[in-house]
Chain A
Amino acid sequence: MKRILLRTGAIFLPMGIWAATAAIVDLPVILPGPVTVLSGALEVITGPGFFLQVAATTIRTAGALAVAILIAVPAGIIAGRHEPVSVLLSPTATVLRSTPVISLILLALIWFRSGGVPVFVAILMTAPILYDAARSGSGECPEELLEMAGVFHVGTFRRYREIVVPASLPALFAGLRSAHGIAWKVTVAAEVLSQPVFGIGSQLNQARIYLLTELVLAWTVILVIFSTIGDRLIHRAGQAFRRRRGIDG
């Protein structure tokens, strides 16, 4: 009961502060209230091309994440077990980790067509997170299991597939949740600047140009909802995996 009250408070308290501030400011173009934003969101959702806009951003985000997973996870898993590989990849990972997202967007704007910019930037921004997670997961793979596999002459590929990768999955799921959240943010930010025909970022920029603040906030709320759904799905997948491993439940 206390938990339900706290959760309700966590939603309605910031909403109340927002509504009160909007009422005090009394300028919807600067800060529209929650009701105005909600009606803006309904207008967006029922308007033409909504699913196309959302689908474009979702496909870019998911595609970028998939490519980043394919590149960074195997590299990280191998790096976690082999010091020379880790040393070899360390400068690249450090540079990518430290590069400001805006620099990558500007470079991508020079190199790619508008639709490719968000994908390229999201890959580069999420790959180091997934690489770090995979490297840390495989580095913490129980040595006693690997020794057992060595004693029984289990081949290298099988050792990775059956022991190292499953042992890395808890760390990978944690990294995937972070990478997923960043992928949405970076994709939309890159869409704002690259202006593809379809995409939530393009819609956000259009709303900004016409000073439709309630639509900027409405698209933001929609973005948060989609990002949260994705996050919950990854979280559920992680929990299902932990249950399968007999860790809980």
Chain B
Amino acid sequence: MGKQSIDVAENRTHLSVRNLWYSYPERPIFAGLNLELGGRTAVLGPSGCGKTTLLRLLAGRLVPDSGVIDPPGLRAAVVFQEPRLLAWRTVEQNIDLVLSGSTPDRQRKEYWLAQLGLESEGKTLPARLSGGMRQRVALARALATDPGVLLVDEPLTGLDAVQSREVAQVLGAALVKASATVVVVTHDIDLALELGERIVVLGNAPDGPVLLRETAGRPREALREEILSALVAIRSR
């Protein structure tokens, strides 16, 4: 099988995916996937290549058929495609739901609400917020848990152009400040380049990752072309 391994040097929390196999009843998704994740990684790939499945495996919501995700039991937080907020709870109560109520938890909640421009919206119900603001609340909720790894799944889904721009900017600024290892799954090349310190392009099983590029110091247009070529190549296989 065409197993492939990519190693990313990283100083922060390191997440290793080694020889990961996972199948749905109708088809294999990962066949011996190897990935080293650290810092902020943006994962791109065609529909159905297993981007969201990878996030669910990293979050511990799916159990791999075989293989290792190391370190095991790393505290993961997820920003889902939709904000997944409780409509009957205020912004603060939505965040409190996932916290223990300790003083450090409260301080982190207040810190991230302020960082994400939500300090005046603590008592607001989600229905009174714009789509972009709801996604910011979801981000604050995830970051307030002080996760070891932050998993972000297609964060701009369902947002209009203005809201997408706003969320992308806020997300970029917040992820730089977060101490967690960040994995962002997206089909949006520009968002990947904006958020990721490195880019991984996933192919369809059994190929695994087909492209890895560090973004620092590289011309954005050249990277964009490279990613686009990789995606076209995957589709034409």
Contacts of B128 in A (CB 8 A): 246
A152:B77 contact, CB within 8 angstroms: yes
B127:A245 contact, CB within 8 angstroms: yes
B97-141 vs A, CB cutoff 8 Å, 1 = contact: the mask equals 110000000000000000000000000011110000000000001
Looking at A27-35, A49-57, A58-66, A143-151, the stretch in contact with chain B turns out to be: A143-151
Contacts of A102 in B (CB 8 A): none
Looking at A109-117, A158-166, A186-194, A204-212, the stretch in contact with chain B turns out to be: A158-166
Contacts of B76 in A (CB 8 A): 151
A166:B88 contact, CB within 8 angstroms: yes
A6 to chain B, nearest CB (A): 33
B97:A149 contact, CB within 8 angstroms: yes
Contact of A225 with B by CB under 8 A: no
- A144-B80, A162-B97, A245-B127 in contact; A151/B61 too (CB < 8 A)? yes
A150:B145 contact, CB within 8 angstroms: no
Contact of B89 with A by CB under 8 A: yes
How many residue pairs, one in A and one in B, have C-beta atoms under 8 Å apart? Answer: 48
Contact of B86 with A by CB under 8 A: yes
B21 to chain A, nearest CB (A): 23
Residues facing A in B56-97 (CB within 8 A) are: 59, 61, 76-78, 80, 82, 84, 86-89, 97
Contact of A154 with B by CB under 8 A: yes
A154:B125 contact, CB within 8 angstroms: no
Contacts of B61 in A (CB 8 A): 147, 150-151
A145 to chain B, nearest CB (A): 6
- A158-B97, A245-B127 in contact; A151/B88 too (CB < 8 A)? no
User: How many interface residues does chain B have, given as a range?
Assistant: 20 to 34
A121-153 vs B, CB cutoff 8 Å, 1 = contact: the mask equals 000000000000000000000001101111111
- A154-B97, A162-B97 in contact; A148/B80 too (CB < 8 A)? yes
C-alpha gap A49/B234 in the complex (Å): 86
A145:B98 contact, CB within 8 angstroms: no
C-alpha gap A247/B125 in the complex (Å): 11
B78:A246 contact, CB within 8 angstroms: no
Contact of A3 with B by CB under 8 A: no
A32 to chain B, nearest CB (A): 50
A67-108 vs B, CB cutoff 8 Å, 1 = contact: the mask equals 000000000000000000000000000000000000000000
C-alpha gap A162/B97 in the complex (Å): 8
Contacts of A2 in B (CB 8 A): none
Contacts of B86 in A (CB 8 A): 145, 162-163, 166
Partner of B126, one of A154, A241, A246: A246
Other 6 A-B pairs with CB < 8 A, given A149-B97, A245-B88: A144-B80, A151-B77, A152-B97, A152-B141, A154-B97, A158-B97
Question: What are some 17 contacts across the A-B interface (CB < 8 A)?
Answer: A144-B82, A144-B84, A148-B80, A149-B97, A151-B61, A151-B78, A152-B77, A152-B78, A152-B98, A154-B98, A162-B97, A163-B86, A244-B88, A245-B87, A245-B127, A246-B125, A247-B127
